[in-house]
Chains A and B, each alone.
Chain A
């Protein structure tokens, strides 16, 4: 097994763990962490692809790295916004539950 395959398998595992957490964990903070794990999986995959996709005698394809850094910034911003929302929610309701409110009611 070469290094790229190992990285790809790691990426699969991370995406799987993240997806599992996003679906099953009820607490929003855990969902957010799961999102970050899943995102990391995608980033690892992208990095591994840069190595494999390197053509023209370069050590690695530079485009995925440029895109990766942007994607990481976006994911960081998403995390920050979500944490801010979560803090406001806890501030105003003293709970951090996403539980189904009776939307058909009142």
Chain B
């Protein structure tokens, strides 16, 4: 396998990075109404390019490489696309197109309407996010990755404050400052690696890097910096206000796509740059943070009064899932590209599609009702069945019901957990599904309730937007079929098979129980649930409030900053201890 010469189809990698940026610059030059047109020209072209890369990758049967200007590393810069990169490129193109269709209704500028700054910025930023993500996926060296990551942040932050209110500006500023803190840590790690090994090209570096103080410190610093940008618990201080406050079309981009960039970079670091340096202990810590994110994120989600904040906290919980695969990917003490990695990438794609659908559905409900108070959602199911269906499908897809992508990912991870004897991750994987089910059940129970009085003044919403949301949710729900090629099709069972149906029902039942015990009473009281408070209910209410307080404490700037330092220390310690053993 040749990683330092251009392959056939390599030029496509440069094109897929350039195209969104060219579209963006054209948009700036043409201005006003033309931006949206530029975006709608770029979207199908970008999708076609991603498809072309996938085909070329399949035909070549190896990593696609493109040397910029023909200069080979270490002096030159290479773009490379391996399996995970190709999968992410395709998925992101699909999701961007879906979000673009959805956003048409919100950010359209017809001939007779005055151009607005929000619409102009939205289309530019959408293309910028897309280009930056493509660069993250295909970059072949750690410094280009740093630049790509910064581009992604610069494009993501303004999306938070498109509405321009004080609250969203504050959320954007918090996001920006915390992300900058993360990127300095990443850069420091990269500089240390350059100092130690004299190159930043990923395959070259992977060949020479050895466990030692330089590699441990660099890996710990870079990982923690990236976790801050991904908002993995306990470094999520910026996520809920940012994702919950942005317009729906922007929240979908932030939640489904932007956080995947820094997550993918953690993947690159651990699996491609330093597979021999990473230790099982450090991976357990990473996945342990993921498990904590699932529990805390889900419970705080259950206690939210507003739908968009609930979905934002659900993102925080889902980020936890993306890190569960790290300890399961070890074979004989070394990280390997195997089923667990495929499961992780599949999980990320499943989350990207489902979460985009979910935020869109929440946004549509908000647009139609003029509010998104969960307690007052009764009757929405009748008023806007498509949006509610999209929410339900996204929820099912996130829970991991057959044949969703999350289901297949869970299956692969469960097998890996069993194979390596790490039974505790089996518990987390199964329990996590119930936690996901809990907030989906809570919202659907409120949406499906019969209203006391017929809903008045429901504003009509664009049907294209509703279909876009439903389409993305369906993509996630049927994702397992798309993955049949790379993984065995025997893994996909008939969803109505007795065993599968049993598991699904058990998960939903568990979720309903969690929702009943941990959510705010007002939500179920309105549904006609009994009012009497037993001792159990009182205990769980106190528990829920305690976790909410804990989350608020963790999200304080000082706490998060100190936790960041603590995590760096822990990672260095675990990397060192693992090598000595």
Binding site for B on A (CB under 8 A): 15, 18-19, 22-24, 26, 28, 31-32, 35, 38-39, 42, 45-46, 49, 52-53, 55, 61, 63-64, 67, 70-71, 74, 77-78, 81-82, 85-86, 88-89, 92-93, 97-98, 100-101, 103-104, 106
Contacts and interface: CB of A to CB of B under 8 A. Distances in A.
A18 B174 CA distance: 17
A59 B552 CA distance: 53
A85 B167 contact: no
Contact of B173 (A15, A38, A82): A82
B180 interface: yes
A28 B173 contact: yes
Interface residues of B, number: 50
A103 B309 contact: yes
A31 B177 contact: yes
B188 A85 contact: no
Contacts of A88: 161, 164, 169
B557 A98 contact: yes
A63 B561 CA distance: 32
Most buried by B among A15, A53, A103, A104: A103
A39 B172 CA distance: 21
Interface in B149-167: 150, 153-154, 157-158, 161, 164-167
Most buried by B among A15, A45, A74: A74
B157 A42 contact: no
Nearest to B240: A103
B367 interface: no
A85 B173 contact: yes
B548 A89 contact: no
Contacts of B562: 23
B167 to A, nearest CB: 7
A13 to B, nearest CB: 14
Interface stretch (B191-199, B281-289, B338-346, B473-481): B191-199
Q: Which 7 A-B pairs have the closest CB atoms?
A: A23-B561, A93-B166, A49-B195, A89-B169, A92-B166, A46-B191, A85-B173
B187 A77 contact: no
B561 A22 contact: yes
Contacts of A55: 198
B241 interface: yes
Most buried by A among B166, B167, B180, B241: B180
A62 B75 CA distance: 10
Interface string B166-208: 1101101110110011011001100100110010100000000
A28 B175 CA distance: 12
Contacts of B555: 100, 103
A45 B190 CA distance: 11
Contacts of A103: 240-241, 244, 309, 552, 555
A98 B174 contact: yes
B556 A100 contact: yes
Nearest to B244: A103
A71 B176 contact: no
A45 B565 contact: no
Nearest to A87: B169
Given A15-B188, A45-B188, A85 B146 contact: no
Contact of B154 (A53, A77, A89, A106): A77
A28 B173 CA distance: 8
From DSSP, what is the main secondary structure of chain A's interface residues?
helix
B181 A22 contact: yes
Interface in B286-308: 303-306
Given A49-B191, A49-B195, A104-B303, A85 B180 contact: no
A86 B173 CA distance: 7
A89 B180 contact: no
B191 A23 contact: no
A64 B184 CA distance: 16
B467 interface: no
A22 B548 CA distance: 25
A85 B150 contact: no
Given A42-B184, A61-B198, A104-B305, 9 more contacts: A35-B177, A39-B184, A49-B191, A70-B143, A71-B146, A85-B172, A92-B169, A100-B555, A104-B552
Contacts of A78: 150, 153-154, 176, 180, 183
Given A67-B143, A74-B150, A32 B167 contact: no
Contacts of B154: 77-78, 81
B558 interface: yes
B146 A98 contact: no
Interface string B545-577: 000100010011110011001000000000000
Contacts of A32: 177
A31 B181 CA distance: 10
A18 B150 CA distance: 19
B194 A64 contact: yes
Interface string B520-558: 000000000000000000000000000010001001111
A4 B183 CA distance: 25
Contacts of B158: 81
Most buried by B among A39, A55, A92, A106: A92
Contact of B198 (A22, A45, A53, A92): A53
Contacts of A70: 143, 147
12 contacts: A15-B188, A23-B557, A42-B184, A53-B194, A67-B143, A74-B147, A77-B154, A78-B153, A81-B154, A89-B169, A97-B170, A103-B240
Contacts of A28: 173, 177
Given A19-B565, A74-B150, A82-B177, A42 B188 contact: yes
B28 to A, nearest CB: 16
